Structure 1
Amino acid sequence: MRLPKITSSLVLLSAFLLLSGCSRNPVSGKRELIFMSQDQEKAIGQQSHPSVVATMGLYEDKKLQDFINDKGQAMAKISHRSDLPFQFFIVDSPVVNAFAVPGGYVYFTRGIMAHFNNEAEFAGVLGHEIGHITARHSARQQRTQILSQVGLIAGVMVSEQFRQMADAAQQSLGLFLLSHSRAHESESDEIGVEYSSKIGYDAVEMADFFGTLKRLSERSGQVIPTFQSTHPDPGDRQQTVKKLAQQYQKKHPGTYVVNRDSYMRMIEGMVYGEDPKQGFVENSVFYHPELKFQFPVPKEWRTENSPIQFQMAPKDGKSLMLLTLAQGSTLDEAAQNVIKQYNFKVLENTKRTINGNQALVLVSEQQPQQQQGQAQAPQDPNTVVRVGTWLIQYGGNIYALHGMSYAAQFTTNLPTFRTVAEGFRILTDPDKLNRKPERILVKTVPRNGTFEETMRSLGMPANRLEDLGTLNGMQPKDVVQQGTLIKIIGK
């Protein structure tokens, strides 16, 4: 007997819920409906890790890696899910960030490691990230999305009136999920206080680090209303975490360490900011010292660099250029791989030479994915993406430079794309080839004075004072005592 659509959907949902069942949350102890098993969490981590490493790269520093492994494993043992195979990594990114992937994978950027000023700050953030995993936040977010989406889908089936409200409902759902995510962040802050305190660190320092995050967000123009952010405001978190830490220490009297000097010595020499060997932009040119090539960057275009690709785009976001490696030993083989990878329909195909390098130039349109056996649906010309691809054989590699925009604007953008691609050439300038990165240098404060006076006495330029203040968690007029270890930037 065939059931009506809505009844059938609800029966399937009920069966799914029964099969999934409820499980007890390791942190809260409450029974919850979870659609992701622990084995699935582990599988997600195992599958995601190679992509994280390929995208960001690992930062090679044995003493730092040993440190986060030691502290991470100590914290994992006292966590609510000590049976998980936790792993800890430092990724080679200047961005100040830390994140966790289901299954026990925890990552710190070298950018955030540089901005910690003691072991206790690190331990608090470590506990926060482990907390995301132990509280099963990814699985709980998935549950919320599934149930909310099912509710919307069922409602659309039921009534025409509900169908007309679907767009508004989706927007409301988005705001609900933001709030849900903020709740997870707050829960992880509380877990971070507990975990870092349990392994002997002063969690008040975790609160102080949110002051550093607030300064960073304000400097980068990322000040947004709290209700529109997936993370609570850093200033609010600073006050909340400080209270949580003080409450924990009052309830569990003991000795809680900070370990400033040992941490400062450990990060001395760490790369700070962009690492030139991974490529850098200067005076509207992208230089890659290790791979020894350069090409122009259109003026005022924004850029983003990673170990696997370099991308750039104008502020209006109506076009994009992307540089990456193409797979294949010949230009023709590389072209076939690119066509397959991006589902291109090739409109033009020509071979040429670019500054002495053999090249193949394609003009293509990206085709939408379709189910097997389905006819190709007609495309809206206003949403068709047209791509100019320059495959350039150089230095034992084949590089793919893609310039893309909607088809209607492609002819207008093509001269810019062509200028960039035809500017690809060998890098021979010794200054660019031998460019050294900035590094964290740790100095002893020579005499009592303000932070501003101390930086001046250590030879730091005035235009770096805000950078250095954020890096050290200090304000210009803060008093610094003689003999204190402090960070400066040098080469």
Structure 2
Amino acid sequence: MRQLLSCSLATAALLLFNSCATNPVTGKKNLNFMSEEQEVALGLQSDPQIVAQFGLVENPALQRFIQEKGTQMASISHRPNLKYQFKIVDSPVLNAFAVPGGFVYFTRGIMAHFNSEAQFAGVLGHEIGHITARHSAQQQSKSTLAQVLLMGGMIASPTLAQYGNELSQGASLLFLKFGRDDERQSDELGVEYSTKIGYDATHMADFFQTLQRQSQQSGQEELPNFLSSHPNPGDRYNTVHQLAAQWKTQTNATNLKEGRDSYLRMIDGLIYGEDPKQGFVENSIFYHPELKFQFPIPAGWQHQNTPQQVQMAPQDGKAMMFLRLAQGTSLQAAAQKMLTDNQLQAIESKQVTVNGLPALAVIAQQAPQQQQQQQAQQQQAPPIQVLSYFIQHGGNIYNITGVTAATTFNAYFPAFSATAQNFKPLTDPEKINRKPEVVRIKTIRTPTTLQQALRTYNVPDKRMEEMAILNGMTLTDRLEANTLIKVIEK
């Protein structure tokens, strides 16, 4: 047992010894199993998957803006040789992220919340910083090393092996997507890069306040500093202000740009929040205006809507359900492909009608070989069991599948069945013609407060704080004549 553990530790040590690479930003040696060629290959592989998952915002001017600013910033970065790509993806979530090899993505949700080119540039520099400092590649390498050590422990001790899943999750927690040190370094690089291309990085600090307020308004409790993968927004605000002042002094920079009005005019008309044409939920019913169908979501279940599928799950995480387009020219062919692709074996199948639509209902379990493999790996974990409906509507075949352990299948069967059997054509004109909310830029003609200005544009009281956060202001802030502000309209 000791020999096996020693062997795994020796293997890890050998990997560590042979896998240190120079960090392009710091010049120091870092653990890295991934070459630059592998980084680029990973980015090229990930990009089409990310675009397929979210879709791209159909706004040529904004897409051109992010690519131009990104290219300009990348050229003065620590890794100007990479072929960077910058894209705005069609998601309402307030987020930006990068993958190895030079791929950076901003959501339309975060684009709506910026209030200047300088805020945008600071976050853009932050994401480029993750790439130039090879944070993604290092995280991959640390995860690999953690798994080597973990597997050594699992081989050495049957007791550890019993808790393999929990230990894997623990290893993942040790190496979150980016650690706090990586985030701080990327903040520093965001300040450096945005300053070098002429933007005032103090406005990047202001955006952290927007993030903090947005988090609080959405009901998300702040994580303690030692648990969060990102530094506390308040701490980042102060640190970035200090860094911005240092870079101004260091570079003797004058006339650094904010670009507030130019940015606001550029996002006029940007879709805000959920885009109804991609599907929306109202009163626990999912509606898809373009494909003209609807179905209920079980009470208390969470949902996530992407271009590929609608996914639903209860809070206990013991089941999941999804709706997606099935592949096949007939109900039987679609069912067979789904079963084959997921290595499932049908135990019951029957043709049914769902609200006048031809359908096929299938109950299936993991194929015996899959069950044996799972049991060997997970110490007799129960096999999964599914209820799957294939429904013809509007020239498509839709697959609604509920998945859970065989031991809990009967408990979740009513929820699976009710969702599938209440799939129906959408005929309500109000739902079919639902328009999205969009950002509109308004000019304040006389001095006033933000709250008074918002009332002028008929913003309801319940959305006042939301609009204040969107504008990066407080409701009592005084506005000068000719100030531009954001409001949300349909």
Instruction: State the TM-score, normalized to the length of structure 1.
Output: 0.91
Residues 336-351 of structure 1: pairs in structure 2 closer than 5 A: 336-351=336-351
Matches within 5 A, 1:393-404: 393-404=392-403
Q: Which residue of 1 aligns with 2:308?
A: 308
| Residue 466 of structure 1: how far off its partner (Å) | 1.2
The aligned residue for residue 219 of structure 2 is 221
Residues 8, 178 of structure 1: CA spacing in aligned structure 2 closer, same or farther, 3 A cutoff?
A: closer
Amino acid corresponding to residue 364 of structure 2 in structure 1: S
- For the 8 Å contact 1:296–1:420, the answer to whether it is kept is yes
Match of 2:265 in 1: 265
Cα offset, 1:391, TM superposition = 0.5
What are the Cα deviations for residues 24-51 of structure 1, in whole angstroms up to 9, with x where unaligned? 2111111333210111111111111111
Q: CA 1:145/1:94 → structure 2, altered by over 3 Å: closer, same or farther?
A: same
Taking the aligned partners of 2:147 and 2:315, their CA distance within structure 1 comes to 34
Q: Which residue of 1 aligns with 2:74?
A: 76
Partner of 1:427: 426
Structure 1 residues 183 and 272, CA gap change in structure 2 (3 angstroms): same
Task: Kindly indicate whether the alpha-carbon contact (under 8 Å) linking 1:382 and 1:407 is maintained by their aligned counterparts in 2.
Answer: no
Which string of whole-angstrom CA distances, capped at 9 and with x for unpartnered residues, describes residues 85-109 of structure 1? 1001110000000000101110000
Choose 379-388 or 164-173, whichever is displaced more.
164-173
The residue aligned with 1:318 is 318
| Structure 2 gaps, min length 5 | none
Tell me how many residue pairs correspond in the alignment: 487
Q: CA contact under 8 A between 1:179 and 1:227: conserved in structure 2?
A: no
DSSP 3-state at the match of 2:179: helix
Contact residue 279 and residue 305 of structure 1 kept, 8 A: yes
Distance 2:405 2:152 in 1: 35
* Equivalent in the alignment of 2:451: 452
Counterpart AA for 1:310: V
Distance (whole Å) between structure 2 residues aligned to residue 415 and residue 169 of structure 1: 34
Contact kept in structure 2, 1:303 and 1:312, CA below 8 Å: yes
Residue 147 of structure 1 is matched in structure 2 by 145
C-alpha distance in 2, partners of 1:168/1:402?
Answer: 27
Structure 1 stretch displaced more, 233-242 or 116-125? 233-242
Once the 2 structures are TM-superposed, how far is the Cα of residue 238 of structure 1 from its aligned partner? 1.2
Deviation larger for 267-276 or 476-485:
476-485
Does the CA-based 8 Å contact 2:285-2:296 persist in structure 1? Answer: yes
- Distance in 2 between residues matched to 1:258 and 1:88, nearest whole Å: 21
Q: Map of 1:15-414 to 2, 5 A cutoff?
A: 16=15, 20-154=18-152, 176-178=174-176, 181-222=179-220, 223-254=222-253, 255-367=255-367, 383-414=382-413
Shift of 1:270: 0.4
2:468 and 2:475 in contact (8 A); partners too: yes
Is the contact made by 1:382 and 1:408 (CA closer than 8 Å) also made in structure 2?
Answer: no
The 1:375–1:173 alpha-carbon spacing in structure 2 relative to 1, beyond 3 Å, is closer
Distance in 1, Cα, partners of 2:114 & 2:120: 6
1:330 to 1:250, Cα distance in 2 relative to 1, 3 A: same
Measure, in 2, the Cα distance between the counterparts of 1:104 and 1:458: 42
Task: Indicate how the Cα distance of structure 1 residues 167 and 334 shifts in structure 2: closer, same or farther if over 3 A, else same.
Answer: closer
CA contact (8 A) 1:200 1:257 kept: yes
Separation in 2 of the partners of 1:396 and 1:410?
A: 31
Task: Output the TM-score relative to the length of structure 2.
Answer: 0.92
Q: CA deviation at 1:274?
A: 0.3
| Partners of 2:380 and 2:156 in 1: CA distance | 34
Aligned-partner Cα distance in 2 for 1:355–1:159: 55
Partner amino acid, structure 1, of 2:444? V
Query: Distance between the aligned counterparts of 1:167 and 1:334, measured in 2?
Result: 33
- What percent identity do the matched residue pairs reach? 52
Contact 1:276-1:436 within 8 A present in 2 as well: yes
Cα distance in 1 for residues equivalent to 2:455 and 2:285: 33
Q: Give the letter for the 2:96 counterpart.
A: A
Structure 1 segments unaligned to the other structure (5+ residues): none
Given that residues 346 and 363 in structure 1 are in contact (C-alpha distance below 8 angstroms), is that contact kept between their aligned partners in structure 2? yes
Q: CA RMSD in A?
A: 2.9
Contact 1:381 1:407 in 2 (8 A): no
